[in-house]
């Protein structure tokens, strides 16, 4: 599918303005005007809380654009009429021959209709009718000539959300699995489900969270790789992990996770901890553990995260392991910030980075994924008003946005299981981490949404650091870039485009899985595969679709490939470095995982 083109901003962009973004509301000419504007912001903030931070402007615009183009497309209307007739015939044939293969099947990630009784009448008729309607709307919201592709995708998303709300699987009297469970338990499943619903509703209203289930305690079962906190400021703690081998590689590794998540997604359980895997391979590993910002930190900026975050951590690593290049690893938005930092360092002649690994990290945001489908000026202003009083974007507001991408599975299937079938959620390490959400400082969140996602300044040559534009092509350190096949947050085609904006030696890996599951692809994980390629310095660019056809999948985990690549970059084996450097101002402060990971 060709990339979605963002709408041209209506305001003229300053090519050097990035860290000092324009004020959301222009300066008032009088105190009265300022008070009126503050009243407007407060009102919009209330509406934003009620809507979960989603502006209705994009909804109306998308439907209006789609409807207007549909009205003046009689041929398309005829096509949709014929498609509806075909679907109706398929449904009729399925009713007349109950032994025939179902004409419509759920999408691979849709688990609402897995119970075998959905193949019995009348449940099969309801299921097939729903899937036929879903198929028609998928067809109806395909791009039309003249229709903005962004609005077509928005219309499809909205149609899918509406259909998911009225799916027969959501109603106890239409769902055979609920009917069977009610009959077998004498209705106990519904009473237990109602109890769970009441408790969940109280927790939602109070903002309380359940403690981690037994066997998933942070610092004991999760985030449990041995190490020490060797530096702390108000923004992050730096963890140095203890060596697990007699000798280690001479060069250290610094991992920069996204501030949108707790760092221990990369140090989950012992069997799937990327950190433990690296130290077991003889690497000296450092990890940034970001704070969970409060309203007092509302003014934290992108520049703070670069300078007092990534660069401060780099200074500490270079002091503890002196005179050696550092091999930096960035995940998700942490990878984006690492790319910005690396380009700035290259511009300024700072050669401390020996290599750079970017995992599920975008540098170009034309294809930003479904999470940002509705991002426009109205939406950003809405979020800014939401954050205006509270000083941050809160955890539930972010969690709802992620869940909406796959609502049929993450919302409706879970709710049916919990509230109508009375079943407890099965605890898992990634589930515990996923529930351990973070907040986003107001200023930083606004800056990266505007500068990166909305205006795409980084690859457009308009992203300035300290008043001077940076360019990714200045990066000379070797790159190892990882995309995941089913990533709906950072689509792999977007991650792949790192090759379009850099000229250095680059290894690209495409691995099976989604944004988190594809990265957590430890050796021995069943059903995994990956594709890998190497682009030497100065090679010609190959598009993602062509690249995909040229590289066959290889079975297994991509981690060993990465470990071999890192080993080739990080020098020979030598005695492990000391923990911290007290004589240089970096004493060991406390055992890993530190304090910040426990911040509520």
- Residues labelled catalytic: 332
Question: Looking up tokens 């791009």, which residue turns up?
Answer: 143
- Candidates 487, 235, 531, 473; CA nearest to 368 is 487
d(CA 410, CA 401): 11
Q: What distance in Å separates the CA atoms of residue 233 and residue 312, rounded to the nearest whole number?
A: 9
Q: Token pair for residue 31? A: 């105190």
Rounded Cα distance between 418 and 192, Å, is: 9
Rg of the chain, C-alpha, whole Å: 26
Q: Is the CB of residue 212 less than 8 Å from the CB of residue 432?
A: yes
- Measured CA to CA, the distance from residue 253 to residue 283 in angstroms comes to 7
C-alpha 473/C-alpha 503 separation (Å) is 6
Residue with tokens 């025939």: 100
Q: Which two tokens stand for residue 108?
A: 């691979």
Token pair of 130 as six digits: 């729903």
Q: Give SS3 for 276.
A: helix
Take residue 436 and report the two structure tokens written for it.
């351990």
Given a contact cutoff of 8 angstroms between Cβ atoms, the answer to whether 258 and 210 are in contact is no
Query: Which tokens sit at 240?
Result: 């140095």
Distance, CA of 492 to CA of 509 (rounded, Å): 10
Instruction: Measure CA 128 to chain center.
Output: 32
Give the residue among 313, 255, 315 at the shortest CA–CA distance from 284: 255
3-state secondary structure 174-216: CCHHHHHHHHHHCCHHHHHHHHHHHHHHHHHHHCCCCCCCCCC
Which two tokens mark 166? 């009225």
Pick from 220, 222, 317: nearest CA to 266: 222
DSSP for 290-306, written as a single string:
E----GGGTT--HHHII
Three-state secondary-structure class, residue 236: strand
What is the end-to-end Cα distance of the chain in Å, rounded?
Answer: 41
Inter-residue contact 306 to 337 (CB < 8 Å):
yes
In SS3 terms, 336-360 reads as HHHHHHHHHHHHCCCCCEEEEEEEC
| 81, 382, 401, 547, 596 from 444: Cα distances, Å | 48, 15, 18, 35, 19
Which run of H or E residues covers position 533?
strand 529-535
- Return the residue matching tokens 């989950």: 268
User: What pairs with residue 232 in β-bridges?
Assistant: 237
Return d(Cα 129, Cα 146) in angstroms, integer: 31
């Amino acid at each position: 599918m060709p990339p979605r083109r963002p709408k041209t901003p209506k305001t003229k962009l300053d090519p050097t303005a990035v860290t000092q973004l324009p004020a959301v509301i222009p300066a008032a000419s009088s105190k009265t005007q300022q008070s009126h504007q503050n009243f407007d912001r407060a009102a919009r903030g209330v509406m934003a809380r009620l809507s979960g931070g989603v502006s209705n402007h994009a909804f109306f615009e998308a439907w209006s654009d789609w409807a207007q183009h549909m009205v003046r497309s009689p041929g398309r209307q005829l096509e949709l009429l014929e498609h509806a007739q075909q679907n109706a015939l398929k449904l009729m044939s399925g009713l007349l021959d109950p032994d025939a293969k179902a004409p419509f099947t759920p999408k691979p990630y849709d688990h609402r209709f897995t119970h075998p009784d959905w193949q019995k009448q009348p449940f099969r008729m309801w299921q097939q009718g729903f899937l036929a309607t879903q198929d028609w709307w998928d067809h109806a919201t395909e791009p039309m000539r003249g229709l903005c592709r962004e609005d077509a995708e928005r219309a499809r998303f909205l149609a899918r959300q509406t259909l998911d709300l009225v799916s027969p699987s959501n109603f106890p009297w239409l769902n055979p699995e609920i009917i069977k469970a009610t009959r077998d338990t004498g209705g106990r499943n519904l009473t237990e489900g109602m109890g769970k619903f009441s408790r969940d509703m109280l927790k939602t209203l109070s903002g309380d969270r359940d403690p981690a289930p037994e066997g998933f305690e942070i610092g004991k079962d999760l985030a449990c790789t041995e190490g020490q906190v060797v530096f702390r400021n108000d923004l992050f703690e730096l963890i140095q992990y203890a060596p697990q081998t007699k000798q280690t590689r001479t060069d250290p590794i610094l991992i920069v996770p996204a501030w949108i998540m707790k760092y221990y997604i990369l140090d989950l359980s012992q069997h799937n901890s990327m950190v433990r895997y690296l130290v077991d391979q003889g690497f000296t590993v450092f990890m940034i553990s970001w704070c969970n910002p409060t309203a007092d930190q509302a003014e934290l900026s992108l520049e703070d995260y670069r300078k007092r975050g990534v660069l401060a951590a780099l200074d500490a690593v270079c002091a503890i392991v002196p005179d050696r290049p550092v091999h930096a690893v960035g995940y998700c938005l942490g990878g984006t910030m690492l790319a910005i930092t690396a380009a700035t360092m290259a511009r300024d002649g700072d050669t401390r980075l020996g290599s750079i690994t970017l995992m599920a990290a975008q540098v170009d945001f034309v294809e930003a994924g479904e999470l940002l489908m509705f991002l426009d000026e109205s939406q950003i202003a809405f979020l800014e008003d939401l954050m205006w009083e509270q000083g941050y974007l809160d955890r539930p507001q972010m969690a709802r946005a992620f869940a909406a991408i796959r609502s049929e599975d993450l919302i409706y299937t879970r709710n049916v299981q919990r509230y109508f079938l009375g079943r407890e959620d099965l605890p898992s390490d990634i589930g515990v981490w996923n529930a351990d959400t973070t907040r986003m400082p107001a200023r930083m969140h606004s800056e990266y949404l505007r500068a990166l996602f909305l205006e795409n300044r980084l690859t457009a040559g308009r992203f300035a650091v300290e008043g001077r534009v940076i360019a990714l092509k200045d990066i000379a350190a070797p790159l190892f870039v990882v995309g995941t096949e089913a990533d709906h947050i950072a689509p792999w085609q977007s991650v792949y485009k790192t090759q379009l904006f850099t000229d250095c030696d680059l290894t690209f890996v495409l691995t099976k899985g989604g944004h988190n599951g594809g990265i957590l692809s430890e050796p021995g994980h069943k059903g995994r595969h990956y594709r890998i390629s190497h682009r030497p310095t100065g090679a010609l660019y190959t598009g993602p679709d062509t690249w995909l056809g040229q590289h066959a999948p290889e079975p297994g985990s991509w981690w060993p490939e990465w470990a071999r690549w890192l080993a080739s970059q990080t020098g020979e084996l030598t005695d492990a470095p000391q923990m911290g450097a007290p004589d240089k101002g970096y004493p060991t402060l406390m055992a890993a995982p530190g304090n910040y990971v426990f911040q509520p």
